[in-house]
Amino acid sequence: MNEILQGMARAAWLVVTLDADLVEIALRSLQVTLTAVAIASAIGLPLGALLAVSRFRHRRAAIATLNALMGLPPVVVGLVVYLLLSRSGPFGVFGLLFTPTAMIVAQVMLLTPLIASIAHQAMRDLWADYHDLLISLNASRAQRIRALIWDGRRALLTAALAGFGRGIGEVGAIMIVGGNIDHSTRVLTTAIALETAKGDFALALGLGFVLIALALAVNFAIHGLARTEAGSRW
Amino acid sequence: MRVMRGVLALVMVLLAGTAMAADRMRMAVTTSFENSGLAEVMLPEVLKDLDLEVQLLVVGTGQAIRLGEAGDVDAVLVHSRPAEEAFVANGHARHRTQIMYNDFVLIGPAGDPAGIAGAGSAAAAMSDIAAAGAPFVSRGDESGTHKAELALWQAAGIDAAARNPSWYRAAGAGMGATLNVASGMAAYVLADRASWLNFANKGDLALLFAGDPAMFNQYAYLPVNPALHPHVNAAAAEALEAWLLSDRAQALIDGYRLNGEQLFTYNAGAD
């Protein structure tokens, strides 16, 4: 209990003094995960909508696979990306291992199935409502997808935020491909793992509270910008 | 479409932020070296003297060697002689350079139920722990410390089959995490002195046995062979090696104190 109080005090102190190292790793956490969410959304949202409006053989199997991939183990993804980007791996020539770019690649692989799957659930319900209308308007498939994405944007925002939630708190994959290098690839979660290993639980917990506050702040900011749950809207 | 363009612009800005500059090299080091705090003293001096930024990948010796074999780092600084010699024999490095040593210490509950504090040697202390069946936490991760621990068991004549899981627990974790486990279970554990002194969650644990030469822990520097991995920053790795062999490095290493104790003894070149 005492350690938790110390952690809170440590978190408050770090934030109030705007500790330079803390600001750096917090910004890098945001940079990596927001970039990964942006890329994963650009792939996952249209993919989810496409799966909702298309009918093809093995569609059920494709959707079941996508849902299962939501649970991809981060450590395994990290290991696979490590082996791909390693100097002795197929993409070694780019020298991307142990850079923030490698961490973004790993997180895109983790987040895309999650975002696509949640997007698909939302689009499927919307498609049931829009099906007759869009068919009778003779809309092309691209037009249908665009209409679904635009009218379902709030549900899709939830999909993106779920992706952000998984990415910002993830440590297994980025520890392996980033290497937790000070001033280069250290982010909040890997710093927490490091401080825990050093036995400095108060600092680890302090960083943890900062991470939670950061996730809350991003969610509130996006909800504010998108004006969801505002006024009389249901 | 405007939304897409906005997203694209955001991605570009965020990606641009990942670019980095300055001459730098990557070195895989063991957790024990990083935990000692010596890196924080030496690396700023290297930056000042050589204008070289050394990025540390802090991993166990087993993983450090793997990173060197794959060519993902420019040099490794580790402490497990058989693994180092195999690394050189397989051509991953042209040579191995001894730099310094520190020592391992046996940590255990302050009450010392196995009575190792007065043991005559490290092997005798290990025998006492096994005879008492007192809980012992092993790194169990193929790290240099783990290999040193296994060598001590061997010296004590206690083979793997005799290390019953009822008291011998392999944590499969780094030094800090293993010390956390030992602290939680009130168990014995072998640690390097630096990690122990820097460890904040000591709880009921105390340093019980140290000083046997069998517990000395030799660090060596291995620059990755550029003939095998042409992309490595061999010039930087060579410059760092020359710096490590200089009087300046010796003064820094011998002069480094943690809680008033000298941690490392410089013995470069003396093989």
Interchain contact, A199 vs B229, CB within 8 Å: no
Cβ burial, residue B142 (10 Å; 0-12/13-18/19+): middle
* Mean pLDDT confidence for B75-91: 93
Number of inter-chain CB pairs under 8 A, A vs B: 86
Model pLDDT for residues B55-72, shown as the tens digit of each residue: 999 988 888 999 999 999
* Mean pLDDT confidence for B247-252: 94
pLDDT of amino acid B19: 42
Domain-located, residue A201? no
Q: Which amino acid is at A204?
A: A
**pLDDT reading at B18 higher than 60:** no
Q: Where along chain B do its domains lie?
A: 23-101+217-266, 103-215
* Mean pLDDT confidence for B204-233: 93
Q: Which amino acid is at B247?
A: D
How many structural domains does chain A have? 1
* Mean pLDDT confidence for B250-261: 90
pLDDT of amino acid B21: 42
What's the distance, Cα to Cα, between the start and end of chain B in Å? Answer: 68
From chain A, the residues in CB contact with B177 under 8 A are: 196-197
**pLDDT reading at B10 higher than 80:** no
- β-strand B188-192 against B97-109: which pairing, if any? antiparallel
Give the Cα separation of A5 and A136 in Å (integer). Answer: 62
Q: What percent of chain A stands above pLDDT 70?
A: 97
φ, ψ for residue B56, nearest 5 deg: -95, 135
Interchain contact, B7 vs A42, CB within 8 Å: yes
Q: Which amino acid is at A35?
A: T
Mutation target for B interface from A84, A196, A198: give the one with most B CBs within 10 A.
Answer: A198
Indicate the fold that domain B103-215 takes in CATH: D-Maltodextrin-Binding Protein; domain 2 (3.40.190)
Model pLDDT for residues A12-61, shown as the tens digit of each residue: 888 889 888 899 999 999 999 999 999 999 999 999 999 998 888 899 99
**pLDDT reading at B9 higher than 70:** no
pLDDT confidence bin for A232, thresholds 50/70/90: low
Residues A78-87 as b/e (b if ≥16 CB within 10 A, e otherwise) read bbbbbbbbbb
From chain A, the residues in CB contact with B72 under 8 A are: 86-88, 97-98
pLDDT confidence bin for B172, thresholds 50/70/90: confident
CA distances, B136 to each of B5, B39, B114, B160, B167 (Å): 59, 30, 11, 13, 6
pLDDT of amino acid A2: 78
- β-strand B216-223 against B261-262: which pairing, if any? unpaired
For A131, the token pair is: 């099906």
Domain-located, residue A101? yes
CATH number belonging to the domain at B23-101+217-266, selected among 3.40.50.300, 1.10.8.50, 3.30.910.20, 3.40.190.10 = 3.40.190.10
* Mean pLDDT confidence for B239-248: 94
Domain-located, residue A217? yes
pLDDT of amino acid A1: 64
Domain-located, residue A13? no
pLDDT of amino acid A197: 81
pLDDT confidence bin for B15, thresholds 50/70/90: low
A157, A119 in Cβ contact below 8 A? no
| Complex ipTM > 0.90 | no
Model pLDDT for residues A100-119, shown as the tens digit of each residue: 999 999 999 999 999 999 99
In terms of residue numbers, what domain contains A53?
A: 18-187+211-226
**Rg of chain B taking only CA atoms, in angstroms:** 21
Interchain contact, A184 vs B20, CB within 8 Å: yes
Domain-located, residue A140? yes
Give the Cα separation of B110 and B123 in Å (integer). Answer: 20
Query: Which CATH number fits the domain that encloses residue A169?
Result: 1.10.3720.10
Residue A103's closest chain B neighbor by CA? Answer: B18
Q: How many residues does chain B have?
A: 271
Give the Cα separation of A127 and B131 in Å (integer). Answer: 71
Interchain contact, A199 vs B199, CB within 8 Å: yes
User: Of the given ranges (A168-172, B5-9, B85-89, B178-182), which has the lowest mean pLDDT?
Assistant: B5-9
Instruction: State how far Cα B244 lies from the chain centre.
Output: 17
Mutation target for A interface from B30, B72, B145: give the one with most A CBs within 10 A.
Answer: B72
Model pLDDT for residues B129-152, shown as the tens digit of each residue: 999 999 999 998 888 899 999 999
Interchain contact, B11 vs A199, CB within 8 Å: no
pLDDT of amino acid B13: 56
**pLDDT reading at B208 higher than 90:** yes
Chain B residues whose C-beta is within 8 A of a chain A C-beta are: 4, 7, 10-11, 14-15, 17-18, 20, 26, 31, 35, 55-59, 69-72, 173-177, 179-180, 183, 198-202, 229, 231
Q: What is the mean pLDDT of chain B?
A: 88
